[in-house]
Chains A and B, each alone.
Chain A
Amino acid sequence: MGSSSLFHDRLNTCVERLAESGVAALGGLFDLTSQRLVRYAIAITTNQHDAEDAVQAALVQVAKSPRRLATCQRPWPYLLCMVRNEALQIARRKKRWTLLANLTDLLTRRSVDEIELEESYRAVWMALRALPTAQAEVVVLKMWEDMTFAEIAEVLGVSPFTAASRYRYAMEKLKRTLQPLAEELAHV
């Protein structure tokens, strides 16, 4: 929770700087949010190239109206919503490439001591890609953005109950796929 509040504090600082300085301050916002935005967009587009296009389009919109984020009460859900809209547009325009067999489009990084964990990470991303987009989004926002269902509902434009329901369905599927791996890692 501490890291989450630190992130939001830093985001608010970036947003204020952006409102004051315009596009010159966009680099700071990018450095803080790009990794999170790209991984969220991948849940929608299922490939990194389109996900990065969506993030780029959203951040360009932010740069054109730098005060827009500053006037939001909750800039992070708003920014996620912008990325989501761009990702959905791209996903609708392009044929959906099925890349369930491999993750070669993803740019991944792991430290030396995480090599043995790489298999588990790849399994998670493969399982995530196998989920319907609506469920994958909720899992990403719940697990990696640590949002409540009310906050997730705000980003997705659905009711909190729908968000919770999608999450539950998603977790049941992920459990079937990943539980053996998780238990194996837990015993290591």
Chain B
Amino acid sequence: MSDFRSRSGDFSSRSFDDATNVASPALESVLRAAGCYVHPTDDLRPQVLEAAQRACRQRRTNHRHGTLLLLVFLLASAGIPSYFLRASRSSQAFPSELVHRQAAELALKSGVGTNWALYEVFDQLREEQAAQFGTRAGEKR
């Protein structure tokens, strides 16, 4: 092995390979010729192609599912805060002071009684709240 180690460096060159070749030409010839002796079975080609096609289809399906899930997540993420915002707005108590002021203004403007104006203001308020929740005021569920 000492002659091996003394040769430095160029393992990529054919000349080094030739120098380390210990096979006689006859032996090398026999070895090389045996390379064509073994062949793949006839079933291997269709098996490989079918397995590859199946794997690619599965990969595409997984990719589509992943994209869909991501889309749903993004939409849900965008929708949830606005839903809670609307819900929080609608759940805020309407100050009675404001109701009475609006009723007084309506009574002055239209000349109706205060009670009727109050009724009109509350009716309007109910319609607005119903619109936020997507139902019409007065509809039975």
For residue B70, CB closer than 8 A to chain A, the reply is no
Take A23-B53, A172-B22, A182-B27 as given contacts and tell me if A149 and B11 are in contact as well, using a CB distance cutoff of 8 Å. yes
For residue A48, CB closer than 8 A to chain B, the reply is yes
Q: In the complex the two chains form, what is the Cα distance from A27 to B1 in whole Å?
A: 45
Q: In the complex the two chains form, what is the Cα distance from A34 to B38 in whole Å?
A: 11
- Chain A interface: which of B43-51, B75-83, B101-109? B43-51
Which of B14, B17, B37, B51 has the most chain A CB atoms closer than 10 A to its own CB?
A: B37
Per a CB cutoff under 8 Å, which of B11, B25, B33, B52 touches A160?
A: B11
Q: In the complex the two chains form, what is the Cα distance from A59 to B46 in whole Å?
A: 12
Take A175-B23, A182-B26 as given contacts and tell me if A125 and B31 are in contact as well, using a CB distance cutoff of 8 Å. no
Is the CB–CB distance between B56 and A64 below 8 Å? yes
Interface size of A as a range: 35 or more
Is the CB–CB distance between B30 and A182 below 8 Å? yes
Interface of B is mostly: helix
Q: In the complex the two chains form, what is the Cα distance from A121 to B36 in whole Å?
A: 9
Q: In the complex the two chains form, what is the Cα distance from A160 to B29 in whole Å?
A: 24
For residue A72, CB closer than 8 A to chain B, the reply is no
Take A64-B59, A151-B12 as given contacts and tell me if A108 and B37 are in contact as well, using a CB distance cutoff of 8 Å. yes
Is the CB–CB distance between A60 and B48 below 8 Å? yes
Which of B11, B30, B36 has the most chain A CB atoms closer than 10 A to its own CB?
A: B30
For residue B96, CB closer than 8 A to chain A, the reply is no
Is the CB–CB distance between A107 and B32 below 8 Å? no
Is the CB–CB distance between B52 and A63 below 8 Å? yes
Contacts of A168 in B (CB 8 A): 1, 4, 20, 22
Q: In the complex the two chains form, what is the Cα distance from A30 to B49 in whole Å?
A: 9
For residue A144, CB closer than 8 A to chain B, the reply is yes
What would 4 more interface pairs be, CB under 8 Å, given A23-B52, A26-B48, A118-B37?
A: A108-B37, A109-B39, A110-B37, A150-B12
